[in-house]
Amino acid sequence: MTRLIDPSLEKLSSMMMEMGNTAIECISLAIDSYLEGKNTINEVHDLSDSIRIKYFEVEDLIFDMLLKYQPLADDFRLIRSSTEISYAFSRFGRYAYDITQVRDLFGDISECINEPLIEITKKVKHMIKDAVQSFAELDIRKATNIQEDEAFIDKIYKERLPQLIESNNTKCALAEALLLRYLERIGDHAVYMSDAINYIVTGKHKPSQKRIDSHTNF
């Protein structure tokens, strides 16, 4: 039986997926353009701005749902967590734009050695895709894996910064340090998303392995 709140929940899910897919496109474009030496600041800005606009639309819809329907516990967890997740999507767009600004500010960085960034950028793009898919599927195992990926990013970030301090190429060191910082922050927001997804499914932000298994064993 269709409830009065169901059409609004379907609309919310559709809007969130649109935001998530745009965030994947935005971050991938920003990262690839940096590594390939392309200037895509205008394209990334437009994508980031579209995510920000959608964020406010989500907030308006959530407010309307809370006022009209007085959602029950399961629905409330989804609605409440959608606020946090949509904010994370908006931050993804902002950091993607920040990455393109680094490329725009420093200009030609073809002299820089970007190999140390390859592994971490792959991990970040994988995290974002997992974050979007885990929300779409309410897959808490995938959400938990995001936290493991974030730990890897933190490790590389902490290892690489001291090496950049010792670098003789100030321009490349500064550009890479900024990029690493933005990637690290993207990872942090992906983890916030994973916590929100865990909350939707289990009622806990950081569930035990036993609770995870109880929701994924069939």
- How many C-beta neighbours within 10 Å does residue 8 have? 19
Q: What is the CATH number of domain 6-210?
A: 1.20.58.220
What lies within 8 Å, CB to CB, of 214 at 6+ separation is none
Q: Which tens digit of pLDDT belongs to each residue from 51-76?
A: 999 999 999 999 999 999 989 898 99
pTM above 0.75, yes or no: yes
Where do the domains of the chain lie? 6-210
pLDDT by residue (tens digit) across 93-135?
A: 999 999 999 988 888 788 888 887 888 999 899 999 998 999 9
Q: How many residues are recorded in the chain?
A: 218
